[in-house]
Structure 1
């Protein structure tokens, strides 16, 4: 049995607790929130009558001595939660983003390494079935190595609340899902970025609802991202729409169920090489999916086996570096080198 304390009992905690109660061998032994009544309400809602309730994480960890901490707090509190978890010899699974700044991200990842604890991030777009299928298809070499990766994200949600007041709202709150998926699908190592943000007249956000970025992902791979959170009409999937150009063909994904690929033939008609459709194989039985549920299961397996989970912080910091690199570029108006390591 793996005993867990969950800290942060706001709206997002429901997704975590919904997943956790589907997993045998996992017990929520404590709930922590600055609002004790909110934590008590979550305990009642999920039948956690035996869970210790508190407003101080250190005190609850001292009392329960769990194996792991689930971090669902606001990003600004993430460093404090992480250092407390590692000081109590706990493994840590945290909601995205890994941290609220590059320095704090490096501090958290380095603290996990020094403590010898598993640290992972809920970067759940990796656990989407078609993301898995596309990576496996590209790895097969059926259309050659990817060279150009293009993602479009255009939706217009009226969230209300903090998102409509925050700076860099698209890059900081949403774009990491697309950035991480791009890096994962093509095996990219981000090296640099040029990004521009703007606020269209029709926007209801304070700053940064629209952005366009060009990333060097190394190895001859370039990734372009175009996005907006105030683009009414022709809404894309939350997973973005994709075109991946490779050496001998291309793949397109609508962000929903349709994934198609074409491969070039050694026959030319006029100006153009002929192409033919090529099947993208279905999900492999070995591919892990399931959003929060899949990631929590992966995290538990890592604890039980002493292995590293796929969304470990030492890897996820590279996707977060893409976000902060894009923000720095947008603020400075120049191309920015991306620093990825935790040293």
Structure 2
């Protein structure tokens, strides 16, 4: 799918409104301000005092603010939105922006449910506007290097992630039914798809809560995903595991026909194989700022970025499949999860053009996969 392009660049920066001025919003406000290819022209938040304080904190107390993101974008001649609202607001804010002619860069998850994620993918098709999900932990130079190592190992049999931390968040996370799976595991699931270059076929997951846990819901989980091509991705994690904690990126091991690759999540990955690795340039992209730069470049060139809504949606599908398996105790097929999500989207969607687009997809997996492309080209270190 092609999307509308916008002439922008360092000499003609993309004019951006950031929606959501909470803790994560501050990171995005800084990134938009620091990136030469973007210009912050407004801050939208339902709490105008929070928006004003954010503007003042940037040294721009006169920066326009508003409660309605699309109206603020019109008033400021903005060309794009960065959506950093809470997950429940992702669908309404993004859909309204797309139909107002505004491309969107959004925080994960793409939406609060897989059905609404599919609706947003269809809305992007109908409007011809780009919707990209940041999924910021994928924009990690060490993760890119690990992917290069996997390419050296031939066929991959098993990819594993160990994730053990003990955060005391307070608030909504400690009341969720499946806090680890729903709020955190999407990062590692998304990275696994990127590393393997493959999509999930099935999921089997057990979620549980250790007796000492300070979470109300299941804060630990073990999951096995069958991936296209036969590899298995194995996730084992806990949010109530004090002592010997892993990186927030997790600890990774890939086992292939020619050897293994290890990454502790914080330092350079290690190739353990009797082969001479190819020289590979480093990725020029990193974190939130890297995602923002790719978004602006894609709008300028018309290229499809990593994280485009169709490509990113399968990461949320892995989360919903894992949760469904944990609830039922059964192995779950991803195609069944996708079919159920489309049925939900068709029931909920109020726009006839979006419903028609959804109904017209001959294969959900096929439509999502058709938007894939290789990672951005790397630049010399």
TM-score (normalizing by structure 1): 0.91
State whether residues 150 and 254 of structure 2, in contact with CA within 8 Å, keep that contact through their aligned partners in structure 1: no
**Kindly tell me: are residues 281 and 129 of structure 1, through their superposed partners in 2, closer, same or farther at Cα, counting changes over 3 Å?**
farther
Counterpart residue number, 2:95? 83
| From 10, 13, 21, the counterpart of 2:22 | 10
**How large is the RMSD of aligned CA atoms in angstroms?**
1.6
Q: State whether structure 2 residue 148 is matched by structure 1 residue 136.
A: yes
Structure 2 alignment gaps of length 5 or more = 1-12, 339-363, 368-381
Higher helix share: 2
Counterpart residue number, 1:284? 281
253-262 or 313-322, which deviates more: 253-262
State whether residues 127 and 288 of structure 1, in contact with CA within 8 Å, keep that contact through their aligned partners in structure 2: no
State whether residues 149 and 271 of structure 2, in contact with CA within 8 Å, keep that contact through their aligned partners in structure 1: no
Q: Deviations over 1:193-223 (max 9, x none)?
A: 0111111101001102000100011101110
In structure 1, distance between residues paired with 2:104 and 2:78: 11
Counterpart residue number, 1:182? 192
**Kindly tell me: are residues 257 and 62 of structure 1, through their superposed partners in 2, closer, same or farther at Cα, counting changes over 3 Å?**
same
45-54 or 147-156, which deviates more: 45-54
Q: State whether structure 2 residue 167 is matched by structure 1 residue 157.
A: yes
| From 56, 76, 83, the counterpart of 1:71 | 83
In structure 1, distance between residues paired with 2:325 and 2:120: 24
The 5-angstrom pairing of residues 51-62 of structure 1 reads: 51-62=63-74
Give the 3-state SS of the residue equivalent to 1:151 in structure 2.
strand
Counterpart residue number, 2:129? 117
In structure 1, distance between residues paired with 2:250 and 2:278: 21
Counterpart residue number, 2:360? none
Q: How many residues align?
A: 327
Residue 280 (structure 1) shift: 5.7
Residue 283 (structure 1) shift: 6.1
| From 37, 43, 58, the counterpart of 1:31 | 43
| From 275, 298, 301, the counterpart of 2:297 | 301
Counterpart residue number, 1:192? 202
Q: Deviations over 1:120-153 (max 9, x none)?
A: 11111221111101112222xx321211111110
State whether residues 133 and 281 of structure 1, in contact with CA within 8 Å, keep that contact through their aligned partners in structure 2: no
In structure 2, distance between residues paired with 1:251 and 1:156: 26
State whether residues 153 and 241 of structure 1, in contact with CA within 8 Å, keep that contact through their aligned partners in structure 2: yes
TM-score (normalizing by structure 2): 0.82
Counterpart residue number, 1:314? 310
Q: State whether structure 2 residue 176 is matched by structure 1 residue 166.
A: yes
In structure 1, distance between residues paired with 2:279 and 2:243: 31
Higher strand share: 1
